[in-house]
Amino acid sequence: MSNLMISAMVDELPLAGAVVAVAASAGLGLTYAALSPTSQLFGRTILAGGDPNEAALTFDDGPNDVATDALLDVLARYNARATFFMIGRFVRERPEIVRRVHAAGHLIGNHTQTHPWLSFQSSRVIRQQLRECNHALEDTIGAPVRYFRPPHGARRPMVFQAARELGLKLVQWNAMGYDWRPIPAERILAHIDHGLARAQRQHKGANILLHDGHQQGIGVDRSASVQAVEELLRRFHREAVRPVTVDAWG
């Protein structure tokens, strides 16, 4: 099966499905280690800190018209800071949104230039993807970028090496909203609750993966994700959970 076909197959599946699909087609246990968000086999990644009263809201695949600004409004109402992992080509198209995110005090990280599956790319392409996104971000906000989340969580030793060369720390997650598909806010919250409960059992903070954008283009509706975030922030406020950015953990 070609990489392209695998990529197309797993693109819309939840991560567990992606792991099964890729592992089945490649027949490699290593593929699981490269995709499982909690695997530390190939190098250290930031998951979450040891304080169960801390939660990081993280948003991937932006910047995106409407959704990113809507999130900034909600976050400002709760005086909360979040982490945005942005796609370089969208950063080049919407620098003004990126500058608003930065000016509001949120943390911005690298999510590659065009969002490929890094598991299937050459060393040259991996380095280029990380470098181009860093340049797009640093040209736009005038500040260094220190954090990187690989698209689909896919890692292999070369990804760690390319990240290290640029001084980037890899960031994964331990709770996710599965919101890359069009599902209502209640379902996004139910998925996140599952991750939050597991993090609590492990006495860990929560590193929550959500999406303000879409890898395929700018303009995708993310109102359900924004609504879910508003509900989460309301709850965090009530339960004295502190919203943090991922740099609190390493």
Q: Which residue is nearest to Zn ion (CB)?
A: 60
- Applying CB under 5 A, the span of 52-60, 89-97, 99-107, 133-141 interacting with Zn ion comes to 52-60
Which residue, among 10, 3, 6, has the nearest Cα to 180 in the 3D structure? 10
CA distance linking residue 49 with residue 250, whole number of Å: 8
CB of 154 or CB of 241, closer to Zn ion? 154
Identify the DSSP state of 171: B
Query: How many residues lie near Zn ion (CB under 5 A)?
Result: 3
Four-point Cα dihedral 238, 229, 171, 151, nearest 10: 160
Minimum CB distance to Zn ion smaller for 152 or for 204:
152
Residues 134-153 touching Zn ion, rule: CB under 5 A, are 151
Helix (H, G, I), strand (E, B) or coil at 88: helix
The verdict on 243 binding Zn ion (CB under 5 A) reads no
Query: Considering only CA atoms, which of 136, 144, 147, 141 is closest in space to residue 173?
Result: 147
CB of 117 or CB of 249, closer to Zn ion: 117
Catalytic residue list: 60, 211
- Decide whether 60 or 179 has the Cβ nearer to Zn ion: 60
Tell whether residue 61 is a contact of Zn ion (CB under 5 A). Answer: yes
Out of 22, 49, 56, 60, name the contact with Zn ion by CB under 5 A. Answer: 60
Q: Which of residues 146-205 bind Zn ion (CB under 5 A)?
A: 151
Q: Tell me the CB-side half-sphere exposure of residue 188, using CA atoms within 13 A.
A: 23
Q: What's the rounded Cα separation, in Å, for the pair 154 and 230?
A: 29
Q: What residue ranges bind Zn ion (CB under 5 A)?
A: 60-61, 151
